[in-house]
Structure formats: C-alpha cells, structure tokens
Structure 1
Amino acid sequence: MITFPSGSSKEASTPDLYREALIANEAVAPPREPAVQGQRRSQVDRSREARDRLLAAAIDVLIRKGYNGLTTKEVASGAHMSNGALMHHFVSKEELVVAATASVYQAAISRGQQVANTAEAATRPIEGFITDCLSIYFDWPFIAALEVIMVARTDTALMERILPVMEEYRDTVNVIWLKVFEESGMAPEKARTVLNFTLNLVRGMAVNSLWRKNEKLYKEQLQEWVMLMHSTISHA
C-alpha cells in the first residue's frame, strides 16, 4: 500500500524535528565513555546533547525561514543556548547547516531501513520503496535539503561540503532497497532500473507539490506505475 506522510513539512512540529535529529545524531555519535570515568562521561554527554539541540533548532529554522533567513543567533535561541556556545560547536553557519542536513539524512536512512525490513516490503518491494521515498520527498527532510542545495548551486564551497552528505544518503538507501528488490526475485539490472525510475518519478512529483498540492492525483499515478512495473517484470 502506498502511504503519503500524514502532514506536510510545514506542519511538522518542533518536537518531531527534535526527535528526528536526536535519533540521527545518536546513531552516528561516538561510543560513550566507560562508566568508571563518570565525570568525563557526563561532560561528553552534555556536549552531545548541546549539539543535538543545536542541530534540531537549525532544522526548525531552516524549514521556517530558509537558508538565507537562518541566523546562528536564532538557532542558538531556539536551542536555549548562547550564540557563543553555538560557535563552540560550529564555527560557521555553513558548518552548522551541513551538520544539520547530515543529521536529517541519517534519520532518513534509519527510517528507510525500518521500512525495508517489513514483511510488506519483502512481498511488495516497489510499493515499499515508494512509501519510503514519500516519507522523505513529501515531508520536511526534502524541504530542509532543498533549501541548502538551492544555495549551494551557486556557492562552490557549500556544494563541496553538502554534496558528500547527499551522495552518502542516496548510495546507502540504494544499497538497502536494491537488496530488497533482488531478494524479491528481480534481476540486478532490472532492480536498478526500477529503483532509479521510481525515485525520479516520486522526486518530480515532490517538486511539483511545492506549488500544486494534489496527493489524490499523485497516488493514482503511482498506483498505475506500480501496476506497469509488475506487468513489465512478470513478462521479462
């Protein structure tokens, strides 16, 4: 079953953004210090928690005001910290935004892996992949990334930092879903073709949805696409 996110990116609440960023940052954070070093561990934990709050606040401001409207002062305020404390963790706006975008996509990888591991995805992998794509491109992660990418288009230094983040996300998710496709019986080349066409179809709809909201039409078209792919694969 193809499932759209329950709310638009603009309707995503700040607690949701914080939770996603915290989950993502915890997933990639270095191991905690041993219990015998209680005081040092506490310092490490406090530093990590401060970074988590800053990353989540940056995501919140990025979605509400865009890259050009984001200031470190407002991010620090949203995280209930001083601007000086923010600069201790992130020396520039660019570094902060890249780290925040990375946290968004680490969360997206974890969410995609969960969807890929479901029984429904194993039996209906194309629908599972579409649902995973919709959760990214029709929700706040895509908005956050798009804000950065549009600025990076004419900012070489920013592009050099953000491109590896985007490529790591796409490469990782492709590996996850190609495995699901192939385990369902698709030949490797066919699996890669179906994945790439499906991804670009959903991504194109997501761009269109920024000014034209028509989930009913998108869902009908995606269902037609699934039927076409199943028919093509069964006759291959």
Structure 2
Amino acid sequence: MTSREPKQDRSRATRQRLLEATIDCLAERGWTATTVAVVAERAGVSRGAAQHHFPTREDLITAALDYMFDHRMALAMDEATALPEGEGRTEAVVDRLLDYFTGTLFKAALQVWTAAAADPALRERVVPLEAKFGRVAHRTAIELLGVDDADPVVHRLVQATLDMGRGLGLADVLTDDSARRKQIVRQWAATLDGALGERVR
C-alpha cells in the first residue's frame, strides 16, 4: 500500500497542475486555444498523461471549472474569520463575493459559457455546472452575511448581490472597472444593511 502512495501523490499533483493550467489558459487565451496539448505543455506534463486523466478537452475543462470553483468557495469560507464583525462586515462580504466575478476563474468560465451557447453537447454538460455554481455561491453568501435564507426578501437580496456581481464581472473583462466597482460595492452594502435590518440573525 505504501509503495503506491508516491505514485498516487504524483498522479494527484499532475491532475491538479492540469486543472490549474486549464483555468489560466482559458482566461488568458480563450476557448479555441485551450486544447489538451496546450494545457499539457503549460502544466509541464505529456499530452498522453493529460489524456490519461482527461480523455477529451470537454472532460478537462469542465473538471477544471468544477475543481477551481469548489476550491475558491472553500477558500472564501476559510477567509471568513478575517472579515470584520459588526460595522463594515456587509461591505467586506460583498467585496469578497465580487472578487470571484472579477478573477481568473470567472473569466475562464465566461469563455466556456459563451462556447456552450453555440454547442448543444457542451451546453448539456455546462448547464448543471452553472446551476451548482449558483447554488453554492448563494449558500456561501448567506453564510458570510449571517442571514436567514428562508426569508424570501433575504433570498432575493442575496441573489441580487450575486447577479450584480456577474454584471460587474462582465464590465471588468475588457477594461479595469475597479474604481467604479468600489463605489458600487460601498453603496450596495449600505443598501443591504438597511434592507436586511432586523432580518440579520
């Protein structure tokens, strides 16, 4: 058993390098240029090794999005301890959530969603992934804000926050929109604080 552990560790490390390289490649070079061969070269592994883990490009890309999203959301929860309590928390949470929509992962996902719009087979794989992303991001926002999602007003406000984040993420794709985004985050956080009021646990 122990003799196989180094091999399993190497296999796991190879897989992780491929997944991370896929996200970077999608974000920087786009859907068309993100082939298994290109990703393998970027990850420093052979094409054969890449195809051993992921037989098709679609397998590789959807696995990369799933892995990196789970990693990003887990990181958000781990970082929650650093968020301020009381005044300023809502703004810090909104800012943290919007980081997801302006980062490498969102830019990579955007390339895949756009390709899936014109490819029914890819869309069939991506729609459940997008639904999962939406559910987990919503649940993470609820946890970070410390509010009750059973309240329909709270549910809609959190969803509006995520929808706004997606829109701001799109605005950031072509130009640096960080200055305007900072003002919007501050205003929306104040609006959220006022609207949530007594609904905060």
- Aligned counterpart, 2:180: 217
Q: Is the 1:116–1:176 Cα contact (8 Å) retained in structure 2?
A: no
Q: Is the 2:107–2:173 Cα contact (8 Å) retained in structure 1?
A: no
Query: In structure 1, what residue type is equivalent to 2:8?
Result: V
- Aligned counterpart, 2:64: 100
Report deviation, 1:148: 0.6
Matched, 1:91 2:35: no
Instruction: Describe the shift of the 1:163–1:122 C-alpha distance in structure 2 as closer, same or farther (beyond 3 A).
Output: farther
Q: Counterparts of 1:101-140 in structure 2 under 5 Å?
A: 101-120=65-84, 124-140=88-104
- Aligned counterpart, 1:45: 9
**TM superposition score normalised by structure 2:** 0.86
- Aligned counterpart, 1:192: 155
Instruction: Describe the shift of the 1:121–1:133 C-alpha distance in structure 2 as closer, same or farther (beyond 3 A).
Output: farther
Q: CA RMSD in A?
A: 2.4
Instruction: Describe the shift of the 1:120–1:50 C-alpha distance in structure 2 as closer, same or farther (beyond 3 A).
Output: same
Query: In structure 2, what residue type is equivalent to 1:86?
Result: A
Query: In structure 2, what residue type is equivalent to 1:171?
Result: R
Match of 1:169 among 126, 133, 136: 133
**TM superposition score normalised by structure 1:** 0.75
Query: In structure 2, what residue type is equivalent to 1:70?
Result: T
Q: Is the 2:68–2:105 Cα contact (8 Å) retained in structure 1?
A: yes
Query: In structure 1, what residue type is equivalent to 2:73?
Result: I
Q: Is the 2:91–2:190 Cα contact (8 Å) retained in structure 1?
A: no
Query: Distance in 2 between the 1:177 and 1:131 partners?
Result: 11
Structure 2: gaps spanning 5 or more residues: none
Query: Distance in 2 between the 1:74 and 1:217 partners?
Result: 36
Query: Distance in 2 between the 1:85 and 1:186 partners?
Result: 44
Report deviation, 1:119: 4.9
- Count, aligned residues: 199
Q: Is the 2:23–2:108 Cα contact (8 Å) retained in structure 1?
A: yes
Query: In structure 1, what residue type is equivalent to 2:188?
Result: W
Matched, 1:55 2:25: no
Instruction: Describe the shift of the 1:125–1:174 C-alpha distance in structure 2 as closer, same or farther (beyond 3 A).
Output: farther
- Aligned-partner SS, 2:4: helix
Matched, 1:206 2:158: no
